[in-house]
Amino acid sequence: MDEKEIHLRDYFRIVNKRKSTVFTFFTITFIIVVISTFTATPIYMAATKVMVEKNTSNALGGGYRYTPYDPEFLETQYQIIKSASVTKKVVDGFDVEKMYNTFFSKDDSKQSIVSISVSWLKSFYLSFKEMIGIEELASVSQKNGNTPVSLTKAEELERFIQMGVSVQPVQNSRVIEISFKSDNPALAAKISNSIARAYIDELLDMRMETSSYSIRWMSKKAETQRKKLEDSEKSLTKYQKDNDIITIEDRMTVLPERLSELSRRLTKSETDKKELGAIYNQIRNTKRRDLETIPAIADNRSIDSIKKQIIVSEQKISEFSKKYGRKHPVMISANDELKGLKRKKTSEIQKAVQTIQNQYELAISNEQNLRTLLNETKFEATNLNEKYIQLKILKREVETNRYLYDALVKKMKEKGLTEENQSVNVWVIEKAVIPEIPASPNKKRNLLLAIILGLFGGIGLAFFFEYLDNTVKTPEDIEDRFDIAVIGTIGLFKSKKETVVENILNKSKSPLSENFKSLRTSVLLSSADRPPKTFLVTSMSPGEGKSSVSASLAAIVAETGKKTLLIDADMRRPVQHNNFGIENSVGLSSFLAGVTAKGLIHRNVKDKLDIMGSGPVPPNPSELLSSERFIGLVTRLYQNYDMIIIDSPPLISVSDALIISRNVEGTIIVSSAGSTTYEMLNKGLKLFNENASTLTGLVINKFDARKSGYYYGYGDYYYSSSSQS
């Protein structure tokens, strides 16, 4: 089944249907608001405007920096303004007794209706507590030491003022509005201004307390740092004295050059030793006569000079030998000279060898001495370096301690100069004045809100009730939900002077009669071939009017000239004999039980209308209706009447209606508007479908078109008339 589209007119229908609910809610709401508004005590509000900003200027340098918007800063100021310490400063500046009497000693003669009602409810609540014993338990707990602490007048004033303070920022500015409400306008202005002054004083106290604490803390730290500085200076002096550090820096400057020089000389000495060692080893491995071939000896100037003299002497001997003989004194002298030169050469060679040997030994000694001296110098440098490192550590500690001490002293002096400078700047730019017009109640606004709240609240309540209402309302709802035909609606009959059946029998042109005539037309046209002749009329539960509908329908059908029979098959709670004022001593139960077959039908109760009563109430109606005698009875009667209407018990209560529905051509279900629920109807239809019964349609009884919201859809012709004739 497709979901039904909701139109705007459906909403208007619901509002129109439940307009009494809307009107009632609106009226109650409006009256309550009017009473509370015009009986409430006028409350006046006074506001002081202050500008608040961070102090970003440098107290010593005089500079200023732009401060961006900081919501946390503003929220902090709001909390300070509403704090207990600010409120205490306000109360301390007042006469507590006078203020307390102003706030709490109210004149009972000027109390509003609302306050009187609240007081009455409180007294009633206390009496109720005493009655059920709660008050006794409270007194016992107080005796056990749980007595609540009573507040002094000053504390009550502080709590009252603190709860009444309101702080609001002025949009797009750094201005804060501090307001207070009271029934006394002068008092409201006074407290508002007092809160602003107390807020400024609180900021100064906080700043002074913070500065004092900072100075005390820095003084202690400076004293501790001063002692550390003195100790570090003493340690440095003692270390310099113990390690003769007076010349250590000069020595640290010379030592690197000395180490470099010794390293260079040692390298040269090692080179000389290697060279002399090589020459010395060559001399040792050379024969004496070949020593002069060694380059180091051959390059000796003395030997070279003697060799030149020997060459000259040999040349002279060679020349003299040509003139003189061997024994010639000249030759002898020349030979002696040559021999002397050779001996001298040999002696010089020996000296040169000795000199090389001495130089080699000296080179070895020099190398050893230089190496020893270099090691000693390195050791001295290492030792001095360690002392120098320790010296720098001590100096650095002294410098650090001196820097920290100087910084603390400087900060402490700066703090002393700027302790009166606030971190928050506050200016009162507009003092509170005595208000002339009360802030509450706002009568125009309250009345407007009452109208809006009452109207929309009533509409909302109407929709809520509509949502909770799961009963049969309109033909369209039933057809959409269950896909069954609604063949008629019977208007709500409110008369207490006559019954529905009496109205139908006596007033053929009444609106109710017209409803049943429409139902008769729907029944007669329910089949395309021919109208059904046998009908069952039932309902889902008792009290839905199925007996009145079946009796009225039978009477209306008889008016058309059709011979009609109404059978009261409700053998549990029969009512048809009462509707028509006939005897019920013999009837359907008598025939089905086999007691008698005579006098069952009351003929011509109305023109063309016969009635078969239920007879005495049997103990087993379902068994009687299931018998072959009932089927045979319906078959025989079918031949004698144009239409047979059978009134049966409710469908959900017992199975009688399902048994009868198998033996008729159609079934009419009667539902009561506003009483029959959709769940009941769904359950009954399910039973019919399972029983394979033929369902002609559904009739909505007690249908109030005006109340349903579909009044416009059913016309004014019938429902506008109050006449029943």
| Structural domain spans, the chain | 18-211+421-444, 248-418, 470-714
Quote the pLDDT of residue 567. Answer: 92
E strands present in 156-220: 165-169, 175-182
Please name the residue that has the structure tokens 């009959």: 493
Quote the pLDDT of residue 563. Answer: 92
Cα 115 from chain centroid? 38
Q: Regarding predicted confidence, which is higher, 391 or 582?
A: 582
State the CB neighbour count (10 A cutoff) for residue 282.
Answer: 15
- Res. 497: pLDDT tops 50: yes
Q: SS3 for 570?
A: coil
Q: At 124, is the pLDDT very low, low, confident or very high (cuts 50, 70, 90)?
A: low
Segment 185-218, tens digit of pLDDT: 888 888 889 898 988 888 887 777 766 666 667 7
d(CA 403, CA 397): 10
Segment 415-470, tens digit of pLDDT: 655 555 556 788 888 898 888 888 888 888 888 998 999 999 988 988 888 777 77
Residue 382 Cα distances to 83, 242, 257, 263, 389, angstroms: 69, 18, 14, 16, 11
d(CA 340, CA 347): 10
Residue 612 Cα distances to 363, 505, 659, angstroms: 163, 18, 18
Report which of 427, 414, 47 is spatially closest to residue 203, judged by C-alpha positions: 427
Q: At 357, is the pLDDT very low, low, confident or very high (cuts 50, 70, 90)?
A: confident
Q: Regarding predicted confidence, which is higher, 634 or 381?
A: 634
Q: Is the peptide bond before 616 cis (omega within 30 degrees of 0)?
A: no
Check: CB of residue 523 under 8 Å from CB of residue 668. yes
Long-range Cβ contact pairs of 248-257 (< 8 A, separation 24 or more): 248/384, 248/387, 248/388, 248/391, 249/388, 251/384, 252/384, 252/385, 252/388, 255/377, 255/380, 255/381, 255/384, 256/381
The size of the chain, in residues, is: 725
d(CA 227, CA 231): 6
Helix axes 71-81, 185-242, angle to 10 degrees: 120
d(CA 611, CA 61): 117
Both structure tokens of 439: 């802030």
- The DSSP H or E segment spanning 564 is strand 564-568
pTM for the full predicted model: 0.50
Least confident of 125-129, 313-317, 334-338, 692-696: 125-129
- The DSSP H or E segment spanning 259 is helix 248-284
d(CA 585, CA 601): 11
Check: CB of residue 85 under 8 Å from CB of residue 206. no
DSSP string, 358-380: HHHHHHHHHHHHHHHHHHHHHHH
Least confident of 121-135, 335-349, 388-402, 571-585: 121-135
- For residue 291, give every residue at least 6 positions away whose Cβ sits within 8 Å of its Cβ, in sequence order, or none: 283, 297, 349, 353
Both structure tokens of 280: 């010395």
Quote the pLDDT of residue 68. Answer: 59
Q: Which CATH architecture has domain 470-714?
A: 3-Layer(aba) Sandwich (3.40)
Check: CB of residue 675 under 8 Å from CB of residue 543. yes
Quote the pLDDT of residue 31. Answer: 92
Per-residue pLDDT, averaged over 25-52, amounts to 88
d(CA 293, CA 303): 11
Look over the chain and give the mean of its residue pLDDT values, rounded to a whole number. 78
- Res. 657: pLDDT tops 80: yes
CATH, range 248-418: 1.10.287
Both structure tokens of 463: 């929709």
d(CA 33, CA 451): 9
